[in-house]
Structures are given as structure tokens and as C-alpha cells.
Structure 1
């Protein structure tokens, strides 16, 4: 194992996902929570998930030569990062959830007697939509304007609240996946059922990346804010 490998094991999931473009996809594939549990060390997460250390490190090391200017870069200005979050995630979630609710309602209506039907999913998604809408409005109307005006010190308290709500979103994702049987389709699943689970998987990945950008990059800057602009 190289010295870099050893150092990587000591780094947090959030740090790695932030600093190494493509790492978030590796973590997502292995079910490693790099957003809400971003402070967990890679070594601890590998142990918790009972993963092969060498396999995970090899996949991460393959990313090191790659160059990328995506929004995982820690030097993207706050205004640019916030605008990206609004366009790529807030707007997208507002499109995703109504469609997922519609699909879930259809599947539950048509396949309600099937033993693998995601019973209760539509109602749960409706609750998630309401919670996320309230959360995003707080960011859009209060927190993000404070950050954009350079009010980093005053933003620390709202950031702490948003982090707690992100933890709630993480628990919601776990419950969503449970209701949807880990997105495993029955052999005879219709096109609507297939579209639902494909959409749910995309929503989960988007929300995890969304929370990662806020918790491990934007909010980290506020946590470390010492004054000034």
C-alpha cells in the first residue's frame, strides 16, 4: 500500500469527494454516505460497509491523474457555487418529485396486490417534497443571500440548522430505498415501475451530491469563516 493510500484512508469521505473529482461516484456505487456522514474517515466507512480496502483504494487512485473543473472544486467562488446548486439541484428536485409521486401513485394503484409493490411510497414522497420545499426556500430566501452578501459570521447559525435538516434528508433517503425494495425490480415490472425506480435512483444520487456540495464545501467555508468578506 502506498503512502498516498494510507493518507487517503485517514481522510474523511467529504474531503475526498470534494477534492477528488469522480470520487463521489465511487462512494455512491458502494453505498458510502459521503454527504450526511461526510466527516467519517474512509477507513471507518470501508470497515462499516465490509468492503475490500484494496478495491476501493484502487478505484479512487485511478481518479487521481484526471483533471476536472466541475463544481466539486473547492476554489469555485460562493456566488458561482450557489447558482450551480440552485440550477442543478433545487430546480431539478422540483421537477423530479412531482413526477416520482405520479409514477408511484400509478404503480401502487395498478400493482397494489403484488408482494413487491412499493406500498406507501407515493405518500412518503409527498412528505419528502414538502420537507424539501421548505428547506430549499430557507436556503433561497435566508441563507444563500446572507452568504452572497458576505455575512459569513451571521450565517453560522442557519448553516447549523441546514446541516441538521440534511441529516433528516439522509434518513428519508434510507426510508425511501427501503420502501422501494432497494430499487430492485420484479421480473415482470411494467415500464412505469421501471421508470419509477430509475427516477428514484437518480433522485437519490442527485440529493446526495447536492448535500455534499453544501455540507462539505459551501458550509465548510462558513464554519471556517473568521470575518471580513
Structure 2
């Protein structure tokens, strides 16, 4: 199978474990899922050969993770999954992350490696994400649940653009936190903050991937380039 001219989104849908592989190589499979593996790797300056080898191993191994089950779910089941697994979870995650970030900045603000501005960045992201999720819950998801997904091209386009904005916000968080790696001597609160940030990042990327590359693709396929 020729992987390099397939989109990251196609590969992420087809091969369980591909999302983790792409993330390890800094390939944006969630917001940049319409790029081919060849184009994404070139933009990131990475060699496609080892990635292709690992994709072949993952494909041969089969789906032991359960990750591929949503590819075959109904649109209604996907919407219910997104609401329970991601929307509800983000609403629990962000207030606590903001609280921890403020505490770290207050206590360790004199340190050069303190993530200055992280609490404000997370607060802004929480507002943007809440607005985004409410639009999905009040407009797009009811259209899909009522069988009008084929008419949802406009709302889907808006949601994809907002997903791109979320991706930019995640990269800003990574820059503020040295790739979400706590420095030497970080206190328990600081380490807990970064552990929570890594979980939030993984959840948000999986959330965007599920919508962009699986749910939305059924009604408004993205142009591959």
C-alpha cells in the first residue's frame, strides 16, 4: 500500500495507532489531516521512510486498541461519543488547569523557566473552546442527528477553521511550557499541572481528529493536498 500520497486523515482513520505515530513525528494529523504524508513530512523536515515502515507494522498488527471502532459508528453514535468523551471532559479539565497554572505563576514567578502567561492563555482557550462546543451542540450536531448532515457544509467549514485556531493555541501552550516538560526542581503542583496539560492536549487532538477526519468527512470531505 502506498502511504505517502494518502492524507494524514485517511491514514489516521484506517490504521489504529497512526495518530500517536504522527504526533511523535510532529505531524499535525488533526488540523492538518488533509495534507498528504509526503507534504506533511516535507513541511516538518522529517523522513517518510521510517514512518511508512511503522505504519506497515501498525497495519499488520491490527486493531488491538479499539481506536478504529468509531470509523464504523453511526453519525448519531459519533455525536454522542464526542459529547461525553470530549465536550464534558474539557469542561472539567480546563478550570482545574487554570487554577494550577495561576498557583504555579504566583509561587514561582521569579523563576526564568516559570510558564508566565500560561493561566491567561488557558483562560482564553477555555472561552474559545466553550463557544465552539456550544455552536456544535446548538447548531451542527442537531442537524446531523436529525439527518440533515448533507446540508451542514457551512457549519462544518466554520468548525474546521475554529479547530485550526485551537491547534494554534495548543502550540502556544507548548512554547510556554518547553514542550510541556517540567523543569528540574519543579514542585508537585507544577508537575501535576503539566501532567494535566499533556492529557488535555492528547484529548483535544483526539477530539479534533474524530470530528475533522471521521464525523465531518462523511458530510463535507476535505480537499487533499
One fold, TM greater than 0.5? yes
What runs of 5+ residues in structure 1 fail to find an aligned partner?
225-229
Partner SS state of residue 183, structure 1: coil
Distance of 2:79 and 2:106 partners within structure 1: 39
> What is aligned with 2:93?
96
Query: Structure 1 length as normaliser, TM-score?
Result: 0.91
> What is aligned with 2:63?
67
> What is aligned with 1:23?
18
> What is aligned with 1:222?
219
Partner SS state of residue 63, structure 2: coil
> What is aligned with 2:106?
109
For residues 102-135 of structure 1, the C-alpha deviation after alignment (integer angstroms, 9 at most, x for no partner) is 1101110110010000001001101100110110
CA contact (8 A) 1:72 1:213 kept: no
What runs of 5+ residues in structure 2 fail to find an aligned partner?
none
> What is aligned with 1:147?
144
Following TM superposition, the consecutive aligned residue runs of length 4 or more in structure 1 with deviations greater than 4 angstroms are none
Distance of 2:106 and 2:79 partners within structure 1: 39
Distance of 2:145 and 2:70 partners within structure 1: 18
Of 52, 60, 68, 2:47 maps to 52
Q: CA shift at 1:178, angstroms?
A: 1.0
Q: Does 1:13 align with 2:8?
A: yes
CA contact (8 A) 1:74 1:217 kept: yes
CA contact (8 A) 2:70 2:78 kept: no
Q: CA shift at 1:72, angstroms?
A: 5.7
Q: Does 1:168 align with 2:197?
A: no
Give the count of matched residue pairs. Answer: 219
Q: Does 1:126 align with 2:123?
A: yes
